[in-house]
Amino acid sequence: MAVDKPRKRWPWVVLATLVVAGWAAGGRGHSPDAADRSAAGSSARPSSSAPSTSAEPSASASDGLARYAPQVKRYAARAGIDPQVLMAILYNEDYKPHDPAFQRAWQKLKPDAAFGIANMHKATFDETRRGRDFAGRDWDELPDDTGLAIESAAWYLHDLAAQLPAHRSTSLTVNQLIALGYNTGAGNMLAFARGVTPGSQAQSYLDQLTSNWAAAGRDVRGSG
């Protein structure tokens, strides 16, 4: 799969200025537990939607995500998922700075904002951690602990995969479906598995996953 050219990063000072100014644009569809996303979608996006992928080309390994590949492989193996889909999701979610101070400043403006390198919301984290090795950890630790963020994302993908029916009426692969589940929620994922066509927001996330797929594969194959 082809990989887009690396996107330009917004300078930190610009983003910090936007936070201070109260800029309220949301991230791309990164909320695993967002309840306001319909499976079929429409051309009009909710207020939490983001620019199209044509406006934000995909990231590349040179942006630094490759350094997380060993953790991705380790936690993906424990969760029984494909490390490439987990790595590609990290690329998809890499549209804003993951600096802990920035994330906490942003959350003051948007209390429902996601935390961590994998952009996970509190309700999703609290549900995913039950019965796991990180059950005693807290969601607000995600900005400071990349390993915890990747581990919880891996297990959430595991839980999504476990919900998929054995017989599906779609050409989408398991990896594509769980990535869409990560983006739009389990209910929408199951609708896609039944053959419902992804709406514009979900399709945009899937297109971005496709663009990032080759780079994610290189990362996980190249790590020790």
pLDDT score recorded for residue 41: 52
Question: Please, are residues 50 and 27 in contact by the beta-carbon 8 Å criterion?
Answer: yes
Kindly report the CA angle at 155 between 149 and 160, in degrees rounded to 5?
125
Helices 200-222, 174-184: crossing angle, 10 deg rounding: 120
Which of 23, 39, 1, 54 lies closest to 183, judged by CA?
A: 39
pLDDT score recorded for residue 116: 93
The per-residue pLDDT for range 7-66, each reduced to its tens digit, is 444 444 444 444 443 333 333 334 443 433 445 453 323 222 222 222 233 333 335 899
How remote is the C-alpha of 149 from its chain's centroid? Answer: 11
Q: Which residues neighbour 200 within 8 Å (Cβ) at sequence distance 6 or greater? A: 41, 42, 43, 45
pLDDT score recorded for residue 86: 98
The per-residue pLDDT for range 102-158, each reduced to its tens digit, is 888 888 888 888 999 999 999 999 999 999 999 999 999 999 999 999 999 999 999
pLDDT score recorded for residue 95: 86
pLDDT score recorded for residue 79: 98
pLDDT score recorded for residue 194: 97
Q: If you average pLDDT over residues 85-100, what whole number do you get? A: 92
pLDDT score recorded for residue 224: 65
